[in-house]
Structure 1
Amino acid sequence: MAEQRSRPGARVGVDVGNARVGVAASDASGVFAHPVRTLPRDVAGGSDLDAIVALVEELEAVEVVVGLPRLLSGEEGESARIARAYARELAVRLGVRAGGGAGTVEVRLVDERLTTVDAHRRLRDSGVPGRGQRAVIDQAAAVLILQTALDTEALSGRPPGETLSAEGKRKKERRR
């Protein structure tokens, strides 16, 4: 049985770190994720956010998936708070409004527990030495975040995670 995509279109994946932001994108059909770049985190100026907005516009992306690094217990710590704030600011810059609408780019938060650990393991297994991983680890984590979101949607028929609006309100509450 072939997978049916309910929402065609490119997606952008984001792995928010303290020093760097990994960025990935999907193909136009929303099936395969690939690395795009690693951006230096610019808390003061927001040039990293501007670069993501430009990529979204260039790809005519329908969605941005931001990794939400929950603790192993499922609770949200400081890193999750930072990712939420980043996703909210990205939604503001993209002009996302509650209720969506035609042409609206959704910003979604998806659980990314252990993504960076998995990215390190995959890079090591593929022969990338430890020193060489630093330059691409954030991109690899963004690819894993985005590919997991794409696969989840393909299997369930529903977008994964929770959607944010520019106002920071959740459009869909998380399931408990």
Structure 2
Amino acid sequence: MGRVMALDIGKVRVGVALSDPLGYTAQPLLTLWRKSRGEDLRSLLRLIRKYEVVEIVVGNPLHMSGDVSPWGAKVQEFAAELRRRSELPVWLWDERLSSVAAHEILDEAGHDRMDRKRVIDQVAAVVILRGWMEAREDATARIALEQRDLEARETKG
């Protein structure tokens, strides 16, 4: 198994987080200060190769109603281009409240509010990645239970 990369794409910065190679944990990697779409994609593609990424999760900034925001449409276009250029699966993940959760994590860690710009996007990317990983784990466990139940019924029948 390879690493999963998560991105919290903002207008000024992109927070990047990675899973461990086995897919158990999520760690912040870096904050990419945006330059241009082309340069941003090239930087991400270098990171993807360097860390042997096999899947990418992109935070999908939806309105609280669930509707796609104007920024969300741009992020979705960026994700589609990243999918084409990396030739990897790129998943959109609802990132509503990920920044709120990231601030709470930094508050609990006693992180100075004035010094958050360099890490807040990374922590938001970790929140996105953890949410995606937990949902995937839950779905895998649910499928395994359904398979076990099916096999048990077939054995009885």
Pairwise TM-score range, normalised by the shorter structure: 0.7 to 0.9
Of structures 1 and 2, the larger Rg is shown by 2
Runs of 4+ in 1 over 6 A off after TM superposition: none
> What amino acid is the match of 1:89?
E
Q: How far, CA to CA, are the matches of 2:116 and 2:69 in structure 1? A: 26
Of 18, 27, 35, the match for 1:25: 18
Of 144, 156, 167, the match for 2:127: 144
> What amino acid is the match of 1:82?
K
Q: How far, CA to CA, are the matches of 2:104 and 2:68 in structure 1? A: 24
Q: TM-score, normalised by structure 2?
A: 0.84
Q: How far, CA to CA, are the matches of 1:156 and 1:91 in structure 2? A: 23
2:59 aligns with 67
Q: TM-score, normalised by structure 1?
A: 0.76
Q: How far, CA to CA, are the matches of 1:113 and 1:20 in structure 2? A: 17
2:150 aligns with none
Deviation at 1:9, TM superposition (A): 2.4
Cα root mean square deviation, aligned: 1.4
1:111 aligns with 94
1:133 aligns with 2:116: yes
Aligned pairs for 1:79-98 (under 5 A) are 79-94=71-86, 96=87
Q: How far, CA to CA, are the matches of 2:107 and 2:78 in structure 1? A: 29
Of 7, 10, 24, the match for 2:3: 10
Query: Which residues of structure 1 form unaligned runs of 5+?
Result: 1-7, 97-104, 159-176
1:53 aligns with 2:45: yes
Q: Among the aligned pairs, what percent are the same residue?
A: 38
> What amino acid is the match of 2:91?
R
> What amino acid is the match of 1:25?
L
> What amino acid is the match of 1:107?
V
Q: How far, CA to CA, are the matches of 1:26 and 1:52 in structure 2? A: 15
Deviation at 1:53, TM superposition (A): 1.0
User: Between Structure 1 and Structure 2, how many residues are aligned?
Assistant: 141
Q: How far, CA to CA, are the matches of 2:27 and 2:47 in structure 1? A: 14
SS in structure 1 opposite 2:53? coil
SS in structure 1 opposite 2:123? helix
Query: Which residues of structure 2 form unaligned runs of 5+?
Result: 142-157
